[in-house]
Amino acid sequence: MTPPYLQFESLVKAFPGVRALDHVSFGVAAGSIHALIGENGAGKSTLLKILSGVYRPDDGRVRLGGEPRLFGSTAAAIAAGIAVIYQELHLVPELSVAENLFLGHLHQRCGWVLRRRLLEAARRQLLELGEDFDPSTKVGRLSIGQRQMVEIAKALARGAKVIAFDEPTSSLSHREVEQLFATVRRLKGQGRVLLYVSHRMEEISELCDAVTVLRDGRHVETLTSLTGVTHDRLVERMVGRPMSDLFRYTPRPHGPPALEVEGLEGPGLTAPASFVVAQGEIVGVFGLVGAGRTELLKLIYGATRATRGRVQVHGRLLVGHGPRAAIRRGLMLCPEDRKAEGLIPTRSVLENLNLSGRRHFSRLGLIIDERRERRSAQAQVDRLEIRTPALAEPVLHLSGGNQQKVILGRWLSEDIRVLLMDEPTRGIDVGAKSEIYGLIYELARQGFGVLVVSSELPEVLGICDRILVMRHGRIVAALPRSGATEERLLKLALPASGGAAGNGGDSVKNDNRNMAV
Amino acid sequence: MTRVLKHLWDSTGMLLVFVGLFVGTSVFVPNFFSWVNMQGLSLSVATVGIIACTMLFCLASGDFDLSVGSVVAMTGVLTAVVINASGSVLLGVVAGVCAGGLVGVVNGIAIAQLGINALIATLATMQIVRGLGFIFSKGVAVGVSQPNFYLLGNSSLGGIPTPVWIMIGCFLVFGLVLNKTTFGRNTLAIGGNREAARLAGIAVPRSKITIFALQGLIAGLAGVVLASRMTSGQPNTAQGLELQVISACVLGGVSLTGGVGTMTGVIVGVLIMGTVENAMNLLNVPTFYQYLPRGGILLVAVLLDRLKQRPRA
């Protein structure tokens, strides 16, 4: 047997206070899709950054086709045929698809761009991936899935032999995921080396041929075959402890209404939305990306202005607009995009925790009582077990799970009755997920009403008492926990005409039942 | 150990640079380290220092204000005109400061409510206000006939000139406001992430208007003090002042993208600029050549700041 094309040999990389990689060795064969899994902080990103020339390892080496190669820069890595498709895509939205594809080496003569040849080459490159959209379109007007295809085509245009995907499906719809998988398989058929980083177990068992598990910067194991390997086993290896049940759902008594939404209309909704969340109840909102879920939450919260309708919290009408009014009535929002909408990245954990509540700590509404402020922040850090070196640490340096806890903790110093959570566990590792779920249950037991938007089926089915399904900007169904199955939810969420896509969606998710139970 | 050093550099980097610069000039530049020269140095930075206090808020919230130089000229002229017309020094001073505040409110509304980019909005008011200064003065310096008015800029208390006391007062008050009040913290939060601040219930437009109004008021105050020092309102004065103020803030580590800034940093930035200019004057560096080190220092400061912010790789 020939040695794998891509080999990592005893890689070591240390940052102040952390050993991000500790003698990690494994190989990736050509013509196979190799999954790389691990919790946040396990070393996946560091490994990718060494591969792509962003970081230099302290020790160890990377071999390509047997040759030891180390890249001093990303340009050198690209030249050696390595491409990394990151979660956040690196495209210029104002430029056309073709210009993006050949950015840095446009077809030109004496500095003049040869537009016809450029478009022709771009069209050929896209066809190779089975895509036929117009290469003169501006990238900013493409869907996320199409942009990803452009990113992949760009890698191929540069002659990439090794392609690494960093959580490529986190913002794709089911249909786009299917297309992506087809493309990845096609690349595999061409004998390329594919590294696939993901949090989603079901994707790995559907797509990948081999898997490597990292934990705390160490190599745990590499399996060259995934037959007979259960998700539970992989998760256990990742987390380092048995994960008997991620969700640990228990029913709670429900009280009188906590949140009442009546005939709410506004941007992003195509029909008035009406529903009630009881005290102690956890209600899920499921739908594809773009179905209006985030828009619904923002309308309830007042972050976007509703054109019609009423929102009541504990029987009291929400008057006025905007987040301030909502907070006064006891509503809180954990936004979908933590970095863009949740955190002040440059400021400390303390300031982020007190962002909203610090007005309560000021004397005469003016000077802040710093002792009370610290005490309150410390109490949240202790209660939520936020792992941070200090209260003064910039929140930017925390892991995703701990950042999410900071946002949650912000609200616990306010007089809050209803939680609106948008994708509360996106990009968060399994261990932190289960802590967030625990917190949601605890708050629900205390009588909070909780509304959770999620595109992860296992999560919606796992933690919610009731599930609202949205499609094309309207609520199309409300299912009790007992009546909800993956098939029913998907059928309701997918466009009525898209029967084929519906099947595709089913097959994406049909392996994860053991996680959802 | 390296971590400790890094932390020390992060928190006191520019302060150390200033101390080094100060000791160096004291040793090598004759007549630098004397009481009279210190008075002159501090007086020379007073206008920039006073305005830098509120510019810090503008920058920390992610905006900036180019109109301050014009405001200084216009309010000085207006004060002189009003004093001459009414015979009341108090009325003139109040008119000058309030006119500055009014310009600030207009800037704030244009930026926060109408959503005009701060560069464009304040570039526009910068020209409008400069024009108003010329109109009020008919294009010539307006001498003030009331000697009482000169006291504001030309008296001193305990050996320290009054404008310097005003600057010190501004440093203290606005330093406190930035660190110890909800308004100050909210300012930094808005600059750090406007949308997150809004979703957390911070009244973003109101805060921005307040910031610009304060900036206008303080620029107006600086204009009145400068007019008093010059015993006249001069429509041509303070050209390019806005860039000096922003340079001083950047020297002090204030981020142009918002969310980062401290009052100690700004004070150090102002002092570094003042020390360099003062030393060049004492060394009789020709005026034309003085521009080069000024620009050079700004480049070096921003470079140091970038080194500091480099990821821990």
Q: What is the pLDDT of residues B23-74, one digit of tens each?
A: 999 999 999 999 999 999 999 999 999 999 999 999 999 999 999 999 999 9
* pLDDT at site A410: 87
Distance (Å, rounded) from C-alpha B198 to C-alpha A322?
Answer: 8
- Please, which pLDDT band fits residue A501 given cuts at 50, 70 and 90? very low
Q: Are residues A92 and A49 in the same domain?
A: yes
Contacts A–B by Cβ distance under 8 A: 83
Give the CATH number for residue A155. 3.40.50.300
**H helix or E strand, kind and range, residue B161:** strand B160-161
Instruction: Pick from A294, A344, A373 the residue to mutate for testing the B interface (most B CBs within 10 Å).
Output: A344
Q: Are residues A273 and A310 in the same domain?
A: yes
Residues 6+ away with beta carbon under 8 Å from A175: A145, A498, A501, A504, A505
The alpha-carbon gap from B312 to the nearest alpha carbon of chain A, in Å, equals 7
The alpha-carbon gap from A151 to the nearest alpha carbon of chain B, in Å, equals 26
CA dihedral of residues A160, A166, A171, A174 (deg, nearest 10): 70
Residues in A closer than 8 angstroms to B193, CB to CB, are: 340-341, 343-345
Q: Are residues A286 and A217 in the same domain?
A: no
Lowest-confidence pick of A186-195, A256-265, A384-393: A384-393
Residues 6+ away with beta carbon under 8 Å from B195: A340, A341
The alpha-carbon gap from B172 to the nearest alpha carbon of chain A, in Å, equals 14
Task: State whether residue B4 sits within 8 Å of chain A by CB.
Answer: no
Lowest-confidence pick of A197-201, A348-352, B155-159: A197-201
The per-residue pLDDT of chain B, averaged, comes to: 91
Task: State whether residue A406 sits within 8 Å of chain B by CB.
Answer: no
Tell me whether residue A502 is in a domain.
yes
* pLDDT at site A504: 35
Q: For B188, which of A322, A347, A368 is closest by C-beta distance? A: A347
Q: Are residues A353 and A402 in the same domain?
A: yes
* pLDDT per position as a tens digit, B244-276: 999 999 988 898 888 889 999 999 999 999 999
Tell me whether residue A336 is in a domain.
no
* pLDDT at site A148: 87
H runs (alpha helix) in B143-262: 151-154, 162-180, 182-192, 194-199, 204-230, 241-251
* pLDDT at site B63: 94
The alpha-carbon gap from A341 to the nearest alpha carbon of chain B, in Å, equals 4
* pLDDT at site A502: 36
* pLDDT at site A512: 36
Lowest-confidence pick of A180-184, A229-233, A459-463, B199-203: A229-233
Lowest-confidence pick of A60-69, A196-205, B92-101: A196-205
Distance (Å, rounded) from C-alpha B79 to C-alpha B85?
Answer: 10
Instruction: Pick from B193, B308, B310 the residue to mutate for testing the A interface (most A CBs within 10 Å).
Output: B193
What percent of chain A has a predicted confidence (pLDDT) above 70?
93
Task: State whether residue A356 sits within 8 Å of chain B by CB.
Answer: yes
* pLDDT at site A184: 93
Last residue of a domain, one of A399, A414, A429: A414
* pLDDT at site A497: 46
Last residue of a domain, one of A389, A414, A439: A414
- Please, which pLDDT band fits residue A245 given cuts at 50, 70 and 90? low
Residues in A closer than 8 angstroms to B200, CB to CB, are: 323, 355-356, 410
Distance (Å, rounded) from C-alpha B235 to C-alpha B223?
Answer: 11
* pLDDT at site B7: 63
Q: B203 and A324: CB-CB below 8 Å?
A: yes
Residues in A closer than 8 angstroms to B2, CB to CB, are: 16
* pLDDT per position as a tens digit, A310-324: 999 999 998 777 898
Q: B195 and A359: CB-CB below 8 Å?
A: no
Q: Are residues A385 and A425 in the same domain?
A: no
Is the distance from CB of A49 to CB of A32 less than 8 angstroms? Answer: no
Q: What is the mean pLDDT of residues A37-44?
A: 80
Q: How many domains does chain A have?
A: 3
Note the ipTM here: 0.81
* pLDDT per position as a tens digit, A111-169: 788 888 889 999 998 888 888 888 899 988 888 888 888 989 988 888 899 999 988 88
* pLDDT at site A515: 34
Instruction: Pick from B174, B193, B195, B199 the residue to mutate for testing the A interface (most A CBs within 10 Å).
Output: B199
H runs (alpha helix) in chain B: 2-28, 35-60, 68-86, 89-108, 118-137, 151-154, 162-180, 182-192, 194-199, 204-230, 241-251, 263-282, 287-309
Distance (Å, rounded) from C-alpha B107 to C-alpha B113?
Answer: 10
Q: For B180, which of A301, A333, A367 is closest by C-beta distance? A: A367
Q: Are residues A471 and A364 in the same domain?
A: no
Tokens of A333: 């929002």
Residues in B closer than 8 angstroms to A359, CB to CB, are: 182
The alpha-carbon gap from A406 to the nearest alpha carbon of chain B, in Å, equals 12
* pLDDT per position as a tens digit, B91-127: 999 999 999 999 999 999 999 999 999 999 999 999 9
Listed by start position, the domains of chain B span 35-309
The alpha-carbon gap from A359 to the nearest alpha carbon of chain B, in Å, equals 6
Q: Is the pLDDT of residue A240 over 80?
A: no
Tell me whether residue A251 is in a domain.
no
Write b or e for each residue in B210-242: b if 16 or more Cβ atoms lie within 10 A of its Cβ, otherwise e.
Answer: bbbbbbbbbbbbbbbbbbbbbbbbbbebbeebb
Q: Are residues A266 and A295 in the same domain?
A: yes
Give the distance from CA A375 to its chain's centroid. 32
Q: Are residues A309 and A348 in the same domain?
A: no
Highest mean pLDDT (candidates A316-330, A416-430, B228-242): B228-242
Distance (Å, rounded) from C-alpha A365 to C-alpha A454?
Answer: 38
Q: What is the mean pLDDT of residues A76-105?
A: 86
Q: Are residues A397 and A460 in the same domain?
A: no
Q: For A347, which of B180, B259, B313 is closest by C-beta distance? A: B259
Q: Are residues A286 and A401 in the same domain?
A: no
Residues in A closer than 8 angstroms to B201, CB to CB, are: 323-324, 326-327, 356
B91-97 long-range Cβ contacts below 8 angstroms, 24+ apart: B92/B144, B92/B149, B92/B224, B93/B149, B93/B152, B93/B224, B96/B220, B96/B221, B96/B223, B96/B224, B96/B227, B97/B217, B97/B220, B97/B221, B97/B224
The alpha-carbon gap from A45 to the nearest alpha carbon of chain B, in Å, equals 13
* pLDDT at site A290: 77
The alpha-carbon gap from B179 to the nearest alpha carbon of chain A, in Å, equals 9
* pLDDT at site A243: 54
Q: A342 and B185: CB-CB below 8 Å?
A: no
* pLDDT at site B101: 97
Q: Are residues A374 and A283 in the same domain?
A: no
CA distances, A419 to each of A279, A287, A380, A411, A474 (Å): 11, 19, 17, 9, 21
Highest mean pLDDT (candidates A339-343, A344-348, A432-436, B205-209): B205-209
* pLDDT per position as a tens digit, A384-416: 888 888 898 888 888 778 889 999 888 877 788
Q: Is the pLDDT of residue B238 over 90?
A: yes
Tell me whether residue A46 is in a domain.
yes
Is the distance from CB of A302 to CB of A323 less than 8 angstroms? Answer: yes
Distance (Å, rounded) from C-alpha A431 to C-alpha A240?
Answer: 10
Q: A395 is in which domain, residue-wise?
A: 344-414
Q: Is the pLDDT of residue B219 over 70?
A: yes
* pLDDT per position as a tens digit, A166-175: 888 877 777 8
In chain B, the residue whose alpha carbon lies closest to the alpha carbon of A321 is B201
Highest mean pLDDT (candidates A97-101, A185-189, B127-131): B127-131
What is the CATH number that goes with domain B35-309?
A: 1.10.3470
Q: For A323, which of B180, B201, B260 is closest by C-beta distance? A: B201
* pLDDT at site B6: 65
Q: Are residues A356 and A453 in the same domain?
A: no
Q: Is the pLDDT of residue B229 over 90?
A: yes
Q: A355 and B189: CB-CB below 8 Å?
A: yes
Taking only residues 176 to 215 of chain B, the set having a beta carbon closer than 8 angstroms to any beta carbon of chain A reads 176, 180-182, 185, 188-189, 192-193, 195-203
Taking only residues 118 to 177 of chain B, the set having a beta carbon closer than 8 angstroms to any beta carbon of chain A reads 176
What percent of chain B has a predicted confidence (pLDDT) above 90?
80
Q: Is the pLDDT of residue B11 over 70?
A: no
* pLDDT per position as a tens digit, B156-180: 999 999 999 999 999 999 999 998 8
